[in-house]
Amino acid sequence: MSYYDNDTIILYNIYQNILINCNTYNVKYLIMKNNNMMTTEVERKTALLLRALDSELRRELIKIAHEEGALDADGYYNEIVKKGFDIKYKESVYKELQLLVESELLEKYYDVKSKKIRYKLIVSKVIIDIRSMESYMMQEDK
């Protein structure tokens, strides 16, 4: 976003959440730099999303989240074991859940009633535009 005010353009940098004052001479460079940052960020986000979906275990955790609703990590571990996955360490499930949170497919929150950290599905659909490498996530309707 840019706003024109006399000879000054204020460019809002969404990645650092700061306002940058610049004269018109530097604007072209800053916009070009910002577009490169946006492209890199879009590609990084899509790569993380694809990595999150490129695992049978993580895809099964997503299915469990859809079927069972919000669970704590132990609940996910128990469900995964019931489904026949050979998981030796609970920490493996914690790690996979964290990657799903980082990719914005699951939400991690503290449940006051049970006094546990729970994970819930927040996305119902993912669309990836191959040309731009942008990913769009549709929120879960509940």
Question: In the prediction, which pLDDT does 140 show?
Answer: 56
pTM: 0.69
Q: Which of 119, 132, 136, 107 has its CA nearest to residue 49?
A: 136
Q: What is the pLDDT of residues 110-141, one digit of tens each?
A: 999 999 999 999 998 888 888 888 888 888 55
Question: In the prediction, which pLDDT does 111 show?
Answer: 94
Alpha helices in 16-131 (DSSP H): 24-53, 56-68, 73-82, 90-102
* Order of strands, sheet of 71-72, starting from the edge strand that comes earlier in the sequence: 71-72, 116-121, 106-111
CA 83 to chain centre: 26
Question: In the prediction, which pLDDT does 36 show?
Answer: 54
Q: What is the pLDDT of residues 10-20, one digit of tens each?
A: 333 333 333 33
Q: Kindly state the average pLDDT of the residues 3-28.
A: 36
pLDDT greater than 90 at residue 68: yes
Q: Where are the domains of the chain?
A: 2-44, 49-139
* DSSP SS3 for 136: strand
Q: Which residue has the higher pLDDT, 70 or 11?
A: 70
* DSSP SS3 for 16: coil
Question: In the prediction, which pLDDT does 45 show?
Answer: 86
The CATH number that domain 49-139 falls under is 1.10.10.10
Label residues 59-89 b or e (16+ Cβ within 10 Å = b).
Answer: ebbbebbeeeebbbbebbbebbeeeeeeeee
Q: Report which residue type is found at 116.
A: K
